[in-house]
Structure 1
Amino acid sequence: MEQISETLWKFMEKGILADENRHDALVYFGRRTSRSTLIEKVHLWGRILKGMGLKEGDELLLYGPALPEVLYIMLAADMTGVTANLPSLMVKADALDSMVGRSRVAFVFDGLERKIRETLRRPQFERVVILEALPFSGLLRPGLRLRSRYISAKAAIRQFGEYDGPTEADADAGRPAFIFCTSGTSGKGVPNQIGMSDKAMIAMFRNALAFNQTGAPFREGARSYCPLPPFVCTGFFVLMLAPLYCGMTVYLDPRVSPRQFTKNVLDFRPQITLATGAFWVHFIEHADRLIERGKRPDLSFFRFPVMGGEGCTPKALKHINEVMEACGSPVALTSGYGLSETFSVCTVDYEPEGFDKDYSRQAVCVGRPFPGVTVGIFDENDNELGCGKCGEIRVKTSSLTEGYINNPELNQARLKGGWLHTQDIGELDASGKLFVYGRKAQYIVAPGGEKVYLFDIAGRLRKDAAVKDALACQLSAQDNPLVIYVVLEENIPETEEEVLRRLDRILAGYLPAGLRPAGYRIEHGHFRINIVGKIDRNYYSHIPPGRMHITKKG
């Protein structure tokens, strides 16, 4: 097998040591961890893994949110040559069985143990280590009794932490260093597992260091706030690994919600953070309320606030940036496009200063390609298209995954000639900036055979002044499966019924003959989102007819 120069951990360790403890590495519920302590913790967990009998090439299961111990164990696994498998925290319990791989040791957050309990009863698991949200308190989640094969993190340290054999393995291109998950939006709500090598992840680091020269968003002594669980590898890289390497302090909090994100941003005052459009919309709505009460928040601390994973409407982004500028932010909210398969960022619309943005299109601009990344737009016959033409977005980069786990058909379909076929539809403008419109697989076929993208239907409706956001969904097992969900602006002069009738007329003039929505449903406030802040399309696509409450249109 091909040998490469160093593991991700060895690369990371050099950057962490270069800071010489001038700045803390982590802050977690007020508890600070120095950079030297972080290194000690990684080596401690490396000894524990070896003491448990894990060998180079083995796998371990790691199931938890953004905890310091999760970070230590991930890096310790890489140091020892053990693959850390991080299943999505969003999948249902019955889907986890297919995602645990060859793991025989599991590390599980105590607050999630109940969800994964049946999986942990499989004979393959020789030991389960329970991680507490507050490990320094010595308290497990109330009601969790340690079962046979279960031990606490403290017991693991006592029992295996004295291992005195070798712990560091060489990098090996023949094995994945980590197994991450995609979001699940590309299929039927089921994430795909991807393997990332040390070589690919170090390549992304080099891309980020080149990007840093354009305005240095990753600055020594700055603060990063990570609201995302580590199976979201874009957040893992942008908000944890790159900041630690560059001398920043990372603030962690395992609690994930729009309200908690808003509170933590205002408390931690991070220069860098990343969240979906739904989280940022909630943040700005809170800022609006503070301004109305005469308590304008100070946002002058921002240097690289990023919207990724899923964006928002151009109308919403325009308002976000207007409020951020009014509250003293020196930079606009940066929109980016990243993929689990590339370990992190593909494009980013970053400007070190200023608020000059284009809000005129159906989708927000996600910027130009990141250093080391090539982006192309292709038609269904594999012809590359010029600027202004819509097609499938394809990406080529040295940080590309080496493959989907146990899915040769997907590897053959998505990884061709060095390109990742993203299954996203978008276009590049004349300046090389990317606009992402939606998923290639999200369409409906009219009775005459015409294919209509669901994101185009929603885009038509968002142009209406009364519509704050819109979602077109295809319900399963329905004769007429097209249903429209809308969130209306506040204080509109019309009744809801009048608005829905106008929207129905708009679609009647746009959709092919024979294709009409079965009905409309108004969602109040916002669309329902999942744990990582994306619109829960699986929920909206599987609402039983008896719970639809759709207003029928004749």
Structure 2
Amino acid sequence: MERIWLKNYDSKVPADIDPDRYSSIVDIFEQSVEKYSSNVSYINMGKSITFAELDGLSRDFAAYLQNSGLKKGDAVAIMMPNLIQYPVALFGILRAGMTVVNVNPLYTARELQHQLSDSNTKAIVIVENFACTLADVIKDTAVETVLLTSLGDMLSPVKKILTNFVVKHIKKMVPAFDLPNAGMFLTALKEGHSQSYQRPEVTGEDLAFLQYTGGTTGVSKGAMLTHRNIVANLEQTSTILETVVDPGKELVVTALPLYHIFALQANCLTFIKFGCPNLLITNPRDMPSFVAELAKYPVTVITGVNTLFNGLLNTPGFSDVDFRKIKFSLGGGAAVQRPVAERWKKTTGHVLLEGYGLTECCPVVTVNPPELKAYKGSIGMPVPSTDIKLVDEEGNEVAMGEAGEMLVKGPQVMKGYLNRPEATEEMIVDGWLATGDIATYDQDGYFYIVDRKKDMILVSGFNVFPNEIEEVAAMHEDVVEAAAVGVPHEVSGEIVKLVAVRKNPELSEQDLIDHCRIHLTGYKVPKKVEFTDELPKSNVGKILRRELRDK
């Protein structure tokens, strides 16, 4: 379709970007740490490090990796919440020419084993709080190097000792584990400091990230994101943000986990490029502490999902925070609900912008302009160098105002799925990536999501696919078959509901929920279970989830 949205671009925003302006993320990082060396790069639990310190620490980790038997292109996993250790490890891996595998620290053993094995991960940096999960599966993976870190490791000496003591011995947050050959992340940095570092030649076609995402097959798939993909998306978004962002002067709140593609790109990488600090929130679920952190700093940018914004608005003390320095607030990962957006504007005085993306697009596809004066209920306009078309079930383009599946083409579209050529061919046809989302557009080039073609369930911004839940439910000896659907929820957007046919009438709702909790990350666990005599099916035996949702 014609790029009708270009007429509404800010005059400073180009229609197209150069995806080859930088050869890799490493180029962008090196320029930023040199240009903004004395600026603060990350803040966490009262501790801050400068760009120069981030440069040195990440260089040391890169040297350690290169001298530990790993080679360029090897997969190295990071499994931790938002801590200063994360960007140190991240940029160290990238500077060593290796591939980052982001891992959700809340994964169950089954989920972790699949991701580590599928990605052929050779090394992992993990917070010891979750090491027990790794210990359960490491023998079934290719992981040879394990580096442990504690929550307080990057804090000042006194605070480090105190924090780690409280976490381990007072709060008992570190379950026992057996990883006899594991090393310590801080020791690796110390060793790397005295080792030689050879900057590898990293090109745009080299893999930067294996970013795992849910799939209709019931297992997560590794989206292969190249350096060129990531650089392109950084250029696409930064050309828009340059209209409001003052390089070196902003402070962005990073409450969403950095292992999630939204925070990884929109916060971590984008504001490294702009030379601005990220305020890392380790536990955003502790809303009172989160609000207390916000009150300490002159925040200018905040990103999040609808549930995060809603939670803040309902936390005492949030309305007392000084919002005068806020440049913009950005919501993604899930639809921003109008009541939340309107209350956000009333409380903070600023519009809650909305964007749209998916892991396979690094992730940004569309975004509303920062100068938007009021909530539109739209996901915005396509970013530069991005084409979108909406098609019906026969593949024909639909007219303005009509609903169709959104297809995306641009330099941010992934290389493909690791080890899954058939899934890649199904997802990307002639360069067009099928999002599975149904949308419309208006005469100004603004797009609106109206439905999801696939049966994905969106829980607090995280994708949950029914097949995985159903497979786990079917593992229970008293379950004949089951179907998982999403039902609306005022806090998380949606929750998982399981409808099951049971063999044993003694099987209870709580029994099945407890069973799922053993094998699934918390947000995937069904919150409701309904038992039925039979599930609705098509004439070929396919379970009709839509009928269950409609019911």
TM-score, normalising length: structure 1: 0.74
Report the secondary structure of 1:420's partner residue.
Answer: strand
- Which residue is equivalent to 2:137? 119
Q: 1:412 to 1:257 in 2, by over 3 A?
A: same
Q: For 1:351 and 1:159, locate their aligned partners in 2 and report how far apart those are by CA, in whole Å.
A: 45
The answer to whether the 8 A contact 2:253-2:280 is kept is yes
AA at the equivalent of 1:41 = L
Deviations 1:273-332 (A, max 9, x none): 21110111111223xx559xxx7443222212111101243233223323332xxxxx30
- Which residue is equivalent to 1:217? 245
- Which residue is equivalent to 1:251? 279
Q: 1:316 to 1:128 in 2, by over 3 A?
A: same
Q: 1:535 to 1:426 in 2, by over 3 A?
A: farther
Q: For 2:522 and 2:442, locate their aligned partners in 1 and report how far apart those are by CA, in whole Å.
A: 27
- 1:391-410 pair list within 5 angstroms: 391-410=404-423
- Which residue is equivalent to 2:182? 150
Q: Does 1:306 align with 2:330?
A: yes
Q: For 1:345 and 1:420, locate their aligned partners in 2 and report how far apart those are by CA, in whole Å.
A: 13
Q: 1:175: Cα distance to partner?
A: 3.7
Deviations 1:40-78 (A, max 9, x none): 111111111012111112222221122222212221211
- Which residue is equivalent to 2:194? 162
The answer to whether the 8 A contact 1:60-1:83 is kept is yes
The answer to whether the 8 A contact 1:224-1:270 is kept is yes
Q: 1:377: Cα distance to partner?
A: 1.2
Q: For 1:480 and 1:201, locate their aligned partners in 2 and report how far apart those are by CA, in whole Å.
A: 39
- 1:387-536 pair list within 5 angstroms: 387-442=400-455, 536=523
- Which residue is equivalent to 1:50? 66
Q: Does 1:83 align with 2:95?
A: no
AA at the equivalent of 1:319 = R
Q: For 2:259 and 2:312, locate their aligned partners in 1 and report how far apart those are by CA, in whole Å.
A: 24
- 1:339-354 pair list within 5 angstroms: 339-352=358-371, 354=373
Q: 1:479: Cα distance to partner?
A: 10
For structure 1, list consecutive stretches of 5 or more residues without a partner in the other structure.
326-330, 359-363, 444-453, 456-472, 490-529, 547-553
Report the secondary structure of 1:148's partner residue.
Answer: coil
Report the secondary structure of 1:84's partner residue.
Answer: strand
Deviations 1:185-228 (A, max 9, x none): x6477432211111111112221232134x22364211011112
- Which residue is equivalent to 2:23? 6
Q: For 2:218 and 2:297, locate their aligned partners in 1 and report how far apart those are by CA, in whole Å.
A: 33
> What is the number of residues matched between the two proteins?
453
AA at the equivalent of 2:421 = P
Deviations 1:412-463 (A, max 9, x none): 11111111111111111221111113321239xxxxxxxxxx99xxxxxxxx
Deviations 1:461-495 (A, max 9, x none): xxxxxxxxxxxx99968999798956689xxxxxx
The answer to whether the 8 A contact 1:224-1:240 is kept is no
Report the secondary structure of 2:423's partner residue.
Answer: helix
Q: For 1:484 and 1:339, locate their aligned partners in 2 and report how far apart those are by CA, in whole Å.
A: 19
Q: 1:159 to 1:323 in 2, by over 3 A?
A: closer
Q: 1:397: Cα distance to partner?
A: 1.5
Larger RCO (CA under 8 A, 6+ residues apart): 2
AA at the equivalent of 1:198 = H
Report the secondary structure of 1:25's partner residue.
Answer: strand
Report the secondary structure of 2:380's partner residue.
Answer: strand
Alignment partner for residue 352 of structure 2, among 330, 333, 347?
A: 333
Q: Does 1:241 align with 2:257?
A: no
Q: Does 1:131 align with 2:149?
A: yes
Q: 1:75 to 1:297 in 2, by over 3 A?
A: closer
Q: For 1:249 and 1:377, locate their aligned partners in 2 and report how far apart those are by CA, in whole Å.
A: 38
For structure 2, list consecutive stretches of 5 or more residues without a partner in the other structure.
1-19, 155-159, 169-173, 459-465, 471-478, 492-516, 533-550
The answer to whether the 8 A contact 1:343-1:401 is kept is yes
- Which residue is equivalent to 2:387? 374
Report the secondary structure of 1:177's partner residue.
Answer: strand
RMSD between superposed Cα atoms in Å: 3.3
- Which residue is equivalent to 1:70? 86
Report the secondary structure of 1:539's partner residue.
Answer: coil
Q: 1:153 to 1:480 in 2, by over 3 A?
A: closer
Q: Does 1:285 align with 2:309?
A: no
The answer to whether the 8 A contact 1:262-1:282 is kept is no
The answer to whether the 8 A contact 2:248-2:276 is kept is yes
Q: 1:36: Cα distance to partner?
A: 0.8
The answer to whether the 8 A contact 1:390-1:426 is kept is yes
Deviations 1:345-380 (A, max 9, x none): 2111234263x333xxxxx31111122222221111
Q: 1:85 to 1:383 in 2, by over 3 A?
A: same
Q: For 1:483 and 1:41, locate their aligned partners in 2 and report how far apart those are by CA, in whole Å.
A: 45
Report the secondary structure of 2:529's partner residue.
Answer: coil
Alignment partner for residue 383 of structure 1, among 376, 388, 396?
A: 396
Identity %: 16
Q: 1:373 to 1:155 in 2, by over 3 A?
A: same
